């Protein structure tokens, strides 16, 4: 009879799930299988440049430069022995071998080293352009000749020999559209196999970094995520005290992740859209979905135990849990989805795919939480006398006691909260943006040592490219190119520059019988034209292809520099721009290079984060206002989020943690998790207030949602394991993740709880 | 210029069996002693960007002495080259740079170097000596509907060459080279040349040559806009002083 009467109180939805438990389990599993099978169509794209909008100015210049002059991203191999002069027969023979071996790699467009560059000389009335190193085996005399020629040509020496002449540098230009990951692998294979026996080797260059970092980060994060998941599991088991329930929460998390990834694959398969490729920016998706899916599962399971504890049978407890959580979980899901779909407005196109796939994952976690999870729970025979059901955990009891303190002292709590927010707010002005890739690595690590070596001893890891539009045969244009190069050299980080102006000066000097007076740009355009024609008679037509276009209308100034911070890049580009404004003859100048493009990319990521943040806050406020039929509730729902974001970014400002594309992901996590907490609180507050108009309802609300919120936060804090990463920004994310969880949960249970209490007392709510 | 050698091939055809026989017949074809021509040379790179040179050329001794003046582009007008082929010593190239009022000798020993940024190397410009190569006849083929002998021309080991071999498609009817493939030292296809001809007096001479560098994805199109043969081209012309004066057509 009791069972019958409880059945009659069930909502229609609970009834369907509980009357068809097998279907409610198998259908989602089948769906997971079907949707997840799209995984095989996922395309992983390591190319950071792919995510940059094509209309961004530095990207447009970048594309134009790549198109006109070939790839400007390079890998450097520096080899030698510290303190030992590198100009010796053996080293030049090794250089010959490595250069030839690299030239055979199909992923490589061009290799430049002392062993394959041309030398221009004027000799006994002859003008000769020939190989600087003609053979593998050299005599002492020819070795000395090579050393003398290189020492007399600073443009060559700066790029190809270390400052102390103890290392040679090989510059490798990738073929178009080659994966830097593969290229890096091939280059290191050749370099290590031929050089590691006799020399110290250092690798560097932007293509080396972009080819190494994504894979290294992925490996590092994958390991740490597994550790995080283990910790999460431990925290849940310790508090829920039931392995089966934790297993179910994890099965929701895993299935949601599979579906999210599968959908990404299916959409790529059917649309071919690059927006759905898995790029480095998408690597934050699993963590975000994990925290959200975990939240849904934790709320349901803890509610089920609470209902069981109040003496209900399993079916009644499940049914009550569904009925009480269906709406808040739905609401938290659609608000979070709206937040991620707001990425549609973000300037980075890849974020559209990011938002869509994450939203589908969130929706699926919701579906599983209200179908699969209750149905699976219903299959188990639960013992009401078991510890997990009959006794509250220590955490649960503690939170209940804290709740009493908060609800009875709302004004004090609110004031304290506001002071903390103000403190966080003042830290916002100290937040700095930096994307210095070298700073990803701790000093002293092998990777960092190599980058530092290339920066300190060779021409440097970073490059700036200045694209100049103007007739190169016009001396005025060449003078202005030379001026620009001088302006570039004023920056102490710039180690070498080269352009067509250098090549013309060298041709002029050589033609005029090596008279130093003629190491200049000729004053007459016809002379420049004659020099270029003369070069075409002896040199390889490709020799000039990396500095001037085919019709001599566009040229490229290259500046190699040590790694600069984002601030330094900004002021450097401004410095160049100020010189550009003074140019009179050159038609157009634009600056690009990996540093500039990455700087712009990061700004886009941050801009995207801000857009998504603002759009999310509006969206969440709007949806909750609509649902709770009150603007006040809408405003209240975003307070914990807003305060958590302010405190988090304020902390970053005070502690000197730079804002980068990696740390910017914190705002998404805060939104994803924070909105869950506030909506659960508000929903239960309203429901309890409707049920019981006495003052008890706030305490009751706190008791109902406080524990799952704190448990959810505590388990998500497992991602604090990221603090053990080898990458500094990922370490920061680990630390900030813990802080974000604290900020969102404490924000909800203090600010929101005290505010609702105060407003309730003033009869505003 | 070697590339222009087919210009001088005569129509004479005779049936032969071996590759060497065909090569000998090609070599023995009657050619004009001297040629005065105006040439357009269009260079196109892998990015499909082009630049055009207009040249005047005078040669005698079946192309072994040649002088070339640049007419266009205007910035290069007046630049000129004197090329002399010798059997007993290194070939000679001199270049006149009018803006500097200087003549410079160019080292033409690097066979693979490009001539004026084109896809023709110095080796391509030189006449091919019959005894320097081994000629094997391959199966006959049709090229553009024309029945051709196909010859495999392999450089002898002692020959200093950037190529390992060439494959020629020779018209059976006219004994003119219609197509040539040149292979690098690793037997990779480096260049393809395709020839078109027109009759000038009794000679069948090239009117258009397309040279494609397969490795660099670069091409050179050579059009013979004007040609006059066996006119009076004095041997005295082929000296440095002539470089400074552009002749009239």
A79 and A119 in a single domain? The answer is: yes
Query: Which chain A residues have a beta carbon less than 8 Å from that of B113?
Result: 129, 537-540
Domain end call among A547, A575, A592: A592
B177 touches chain A (CB under 8 A): no
**Cα gap A727→A748, rounded to integer Å:** 32
Cα-Cα-Cα-Cα torsion A87, A93, A97, A102, nearest 10 degrees, comes to: 20
- Chain segment A673-731, per-residue pLDDT in tens: 788 889 999 988 888 877 665 556 778 888 888 999 998 898 888 878 888 887 787 78
A669 and A689 in a single domain? The answer is: yes
Domain end call among A592, A620, A655: A592
Distance from CA of B113 to the nearest CA of A (A): 6
The residue with greater pLDDT, B106 or A376, is: A376
Nearest to A345 by CA among A355, A330, A333: A355
- Chain segment B130-146, per-residue pLDDT in tens: 778 888 989 889 998 99
Chain A residue whose CA is closest to B103: A125
The residue with greater pLDDT, A603 or A706, is: A706
For tokens 């530092």, name the residue: A452
A422 and A499 in a single domain? The answer is: no
A533 touches chain B (CB under 8 A): yes
Question: What mean pLDDT, rounded, does chain B reach?
Answer: 82
pLDDT above 90 as % of chain A = 34
State the Rg of chain A over Cα.
32
Interface of A with B in 55-84 (CB under 8 A): 67-68
Q: Is residue A476 part of a domain?
A: yes
Q: Is residue A422 part of a domain?
A: yes
- Chain segment A224-247, per-residue pLDDT in tens: 878 888 989 999 998 888 999 999
Range(s) of the domain holding residue A194: 74-204
Check residue B4 and give its pLDDT: 37
pLDDT band at A393 (very low <50, low <70, confident <90, very high): confident
Check residue A156 and give its pLDDT: 85
A540 touches chain B (CB under 8 A): yes
Query: What does the block give as tokens for A505?
Result: 């000066």
Q: Mean pLDDT, to the nearest integer, of A656-683?
A: 79
The residue with greater pLDDT, A176 or B225, is: B225
Domains and CATH numbers, chain B: 2-243 (2.50.20.10)
Question: What mean pLDDT, rounded, does chain A reach?
Answer: 86
Check residue B18 and give its pLDDT: 86
Chain B residue whose CA is closest to A549: B49
A610 and A560 in a single domain? The answer is: no
Q: Is the pLDDT of residue B16 over 60?
A: no
pLDDT band at B163 (very low <50, low <70, confident <90, very high): confident
Q: Is the pLDDT of residue B15 over 50?
A: no
Q: Do residue B113 and residue A539 have CB atoms under 8 angstroms apart?
A: yes
Interface of A with B in 89-128 (CB under 8 A): 122, 125-128
Q: Is residue A709 part of a domain?
A: yes
A403 and A328 in a single domain? The answer is: no
| CATH number, residue A272 | 1.20.1640.10
Nearest to A26 by CA among A377, A378, A372, A258: A372
B142 touches chain A (CB under 8 A): no
10 Å Cβ neighbour count for A142? 16
pLDDT band at A8 (very low <50, low <70, confident <90, very high): low
- Chain segment A119-178, per-residue pLDDT in tens: 877 766 666 677 888 888 888 899 999 999 898 888 788 889 998 999 999 999 888 778
A725 and A602 in a single domain? The answer is: yes
pLDDT above 70 as % of chain A = 95
A637 and A541 in a single domain? The answer is: no
Check residue A634 and give its pLDDT: 92
A575 and A468 in a single domain? The answer is: yes
pLDDT band at A271 (very low <50, low <70, confident <90, very high): very high
A565 and A688 in a single domain? The answer is: no
Q: So what's the ipTM on this one?
A: 0.83
Q: Do residue B95 and residue A536 have CB atoms under 8 angstroms apart?
A: no
Q: Is residue A259 part of a domain?
A: yes
For tokens 């030398």, name the residue: A119
- Chain segment B77-91, per-residue pLDDT in tens: 999 989 888 877 777
Is residue A353 within 8 A of residue A275, CB to CB? The reply is: yes
Q: Do residue A67 and residue B47 have CB atoms under 8 angstroms apart?
A: yes
Q: Do residue B99 and residue A527 have CB atoms under 8 angstroms apart?
A: yes
Residue B67 has φ and ψ, to the nearest 5°, of: -130, 135
A563 and A677 in a single domain? The answer is: no
A677 and A743 in a single domain? The answer is: yes
Check residue A3 and give its pLDDT: 47
Query: Which chain B residues have a beta carbon less than 8 Å from that of A536?
Result: 114, 116-117
Chain B residue whose CA is closest to A508: B100
Distance from CA of B49 to the nearest CA of A (A): 7
Query: Which chain A residues have a beta carbon less than 8 Å from that of B81?
Result: 537
Q: Is residue A756 part of a domain?
A: yes
Is residue B164 within 8 A of residue B176, CB to CB? The reply is: no
Number of domains observed in the structure of chain A: 4
B156 touches chain A (CB under 8 A): no
Q: Is residue A62 part of a domain?
A: no
B49 touches chain A (CB under 8 A): yes
Q: Is the pLDDT of residue A53 over 50?
A: yes
CB burial of A439-464 (b: ≥16 within 10 Å; e: otherwise) equals bbbeeeeebeebbbbbbebbbbbbbb
8-state DSSP, A75: E
Alpha helices in A371-499 (DSSP H): 372-379, 387-390, 394-408, 410-428, 446-457, 475-489
Q: Is the pLDDT of residue B50 over 50?
A: yes
Q: Is residue A526 part of a domain?
A: yes
Domain end call among A556, A572, A592: A592
The residue with greater pLDDT, B104 or B17, is: B104
Nearest to B175 by CA among B152, B197, B208: B197
Q: Is residue A707 part of a domain?
A: yes
Q: What is the pTM of this model?
A: 0.74
Query: Which chain A residues have a beta carbon less than 8 Å from that of B114?
Result: 536, 540-541
Q: Do residue A126 and residue B106 have CB atoms under 8 angstroms apart?
A: yes
Out of B98, B102, B117, closest to residue A541 by CB: B117
A130 touches chain B (CB under 8 A): yes
A99 and A145 in a single domain? The answer is: yes
**Cα gap B63→A450, rounded to integer Å:** 57
Q: Mean pLDDT, to the nearest integer, of A545-572?
A: 86
pLDDT band at B13 (very low <50, low <70, confident <90, very high): very low
Q: Do residue A127 and residue B105 have CB atoms under 8 angstroms apart?
A: yes
């Amino acid at each position: 009879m009791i069972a019958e009467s409880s059945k009659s109180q069930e909502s229609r939805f609970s009834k369907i799930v509980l009357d068809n438990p097998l279907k409610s389990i198998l259908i989602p599993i089948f769906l997971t299988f079907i949707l997840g099978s799209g995984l095989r169509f996922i395309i992983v794209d390591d190319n950071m440049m792919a995510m940059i909008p094509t209309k961004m100015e530095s990207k447009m210049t970048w594309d134009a430069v790549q198109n006109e002059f070939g790839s400007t991203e390079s890998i450097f191999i520096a080899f030698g022995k510290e303190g030992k002069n590198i100009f010796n027969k053996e080293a030049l023979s090794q250089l010959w071998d490595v250069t030839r071996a690299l030239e055979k790699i199909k992923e490589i467009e061009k290799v430049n080293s002392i062993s394959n560059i041309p030398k221009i000389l004027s000799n006994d009335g002859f003008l000769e352009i020939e190989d600087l190193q003609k053979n593998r085996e050299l005599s002492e005399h020819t070795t000395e000749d090579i050393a003398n020629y290189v020492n007399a040509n600073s443009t060559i020496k700066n790029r190809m020999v270390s400052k102390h002449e103890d290392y040679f540098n090989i510059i490798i230009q990738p073929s178009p559209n080659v994966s830097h990951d593969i290229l890096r692998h091939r280059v290191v294979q050749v370099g290590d196999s031929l050089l590691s026996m006799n020399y110290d080797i250092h690798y560097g260059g932007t293509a080396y970094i972009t080819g190494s970092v994504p894979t290294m980060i992925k490996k590092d994060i994958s390991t740490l995520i597994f550790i995080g998941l283990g910790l999460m599991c431990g925290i849940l088991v310790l508090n829920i005290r039931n392995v089966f329930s934790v297993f179910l929460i994890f099965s929701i998390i895993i299935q949601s992740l599979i579906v999210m990834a599968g959908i990404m694959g299916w959409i790529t398969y059917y649309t071919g859209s690059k927006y759905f490729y898995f790029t480095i920016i998408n690597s934050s998706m699993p963590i975000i979905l994990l925290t959200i899916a975990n939240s849904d599962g934790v709320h349901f399971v803890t509610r089920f135990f609470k209902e069981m504890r109040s003496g209900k049978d399993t079916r009644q407890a499940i049914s009550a849990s569904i009925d009480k959580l269906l709406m808040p979980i739905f609401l938290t899901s659609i608000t979070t989805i709206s937040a991620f779909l707001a990425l549609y407005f973000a300037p980075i196109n890849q974020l559209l795919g990011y938002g869509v796939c994450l939203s589908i994952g969130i929706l699926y976690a919701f579906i599983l939480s209200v179908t699969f999870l209750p149905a699976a729970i219903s299959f188990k025979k639960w013992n009401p006398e078991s510890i997990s059901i009959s006794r509250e955990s220590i955490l649960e009891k503690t939170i209940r006691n804290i709740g009493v303190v908060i609800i009875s002292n709302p004004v004090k709590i609110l004031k304290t909260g506001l002071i903390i927010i103000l403190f966080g707010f003042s830290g916002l002005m100290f937040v700095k943006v930096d994307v210095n890739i070298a700073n990803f690595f701790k000093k002293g690590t092998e990777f960092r040592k190599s980058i530092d070596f290339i920066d300190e001893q060779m021409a440097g890891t970073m490059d700036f490219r200045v694209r100049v539009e103007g007739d190169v045969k016009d001396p005025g244009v060449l003078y202005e190119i030379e001026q620009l190069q001088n302006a570039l050299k004023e920056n102490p980080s710039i180690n070498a520059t080269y352009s067509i102006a250098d090549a013309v000066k060298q041709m002029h000097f050589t033609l005029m019988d090596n008279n130093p007076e003629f190491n200049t740009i000729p004053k007459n355009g016809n002379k420049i034209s004659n020099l270029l024609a003369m070069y075409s008679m002896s040199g390889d037509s490709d020799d000039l292809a990396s500095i001037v276009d085919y019709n001599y209308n566009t040229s490229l100034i290259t500046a190699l520099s040590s790694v600069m911070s984002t601030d330094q890049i900004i002021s450097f580009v401004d410095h160049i721009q100020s010189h550009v404004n003074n140019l009179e003859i050159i038609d157009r100048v634009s600056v690009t290079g990996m540093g500039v493009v990455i700087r712009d990319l990061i700004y886009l990521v941050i801009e995207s984060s801000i857009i998504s943040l603002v759009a999310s806050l509006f969206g969440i406020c709007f949806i909750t206002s609509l649902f709770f039929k009150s603007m006040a509730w809408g405003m209240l729902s975003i307070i914990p989020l807003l305060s958590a974001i302010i405190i988090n970014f304020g902390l970053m400002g005070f502690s000197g943690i730079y804002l980068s594309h990696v740390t910017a992901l914190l705002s998404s996590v805060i939104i994803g998790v924070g909105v869950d907490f506030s909506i659960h609180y508000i929903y239960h507050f309203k429901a309890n207030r409707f049920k019981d108009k006495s003052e008890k309802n706030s305490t009751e609300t706190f008791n109902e949602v406080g524990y799952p919120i704190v448990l959810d936060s505590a388990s998500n804090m497992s991602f604090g394991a990221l603090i053990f990463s080898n990458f500094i920004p990922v370490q920061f994310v680990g630390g900030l993740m813990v802080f974000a969880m604290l900020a969102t949960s404490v924000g909800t249970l203090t600010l929101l709880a005290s505010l609702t209490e105060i407003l309730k007392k003033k009869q505003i709510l | 210029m070697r590339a222009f050698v087919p210009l001088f091939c005569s129509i004479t055809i005779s049936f032969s069996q071996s590759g060497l026989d065909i090569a000998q017949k090609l070599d023995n074809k009657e050619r004009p002693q001297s040629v005065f021509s105006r040439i357009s040379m269009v260079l196109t790179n892998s990015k499909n960007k082009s630049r055009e040179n207009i040249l005047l050329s005078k040669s005698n001794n079946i192309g072994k002495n040649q002088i070339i003046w640049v007419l266009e582009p205007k910035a290069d007008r007046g630049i000129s080259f004197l090329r002399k082929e010798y059997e007993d010593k290194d070939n000679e190239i001199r270049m006149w740079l009018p803006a500097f009022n200087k003549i410079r000798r160019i080292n033409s020993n690097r066979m693979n170097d490009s001539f004026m940024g084109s896809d023709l190397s110095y080796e391509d410009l030189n006449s091919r000596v019959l005894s320097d190569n081994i000629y094997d006849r391959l199966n006959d083929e049709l090229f553009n509907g024309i029945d051709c002998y196909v010859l495999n021309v392999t450089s002898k080991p002692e020959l200093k060459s950037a190529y390992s071999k060439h494959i020629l498609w020779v018209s059976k009817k006219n004994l003119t080279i219609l197509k040539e493939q040149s292979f690098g030292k690793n037997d990779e296809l480096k260049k393809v040349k395709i020839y078109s001809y027109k009759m000038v007096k009794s000679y069948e001479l090239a009117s258009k040559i397309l040279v494609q560098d397969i490795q660099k994805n670069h091409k050179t199109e050579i059009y013979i806009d004007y040609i006059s043969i066996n006119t009076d081209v004095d041997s005295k012309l082929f000296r440095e002083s002539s470089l400074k004066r552009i002749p009239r057509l």
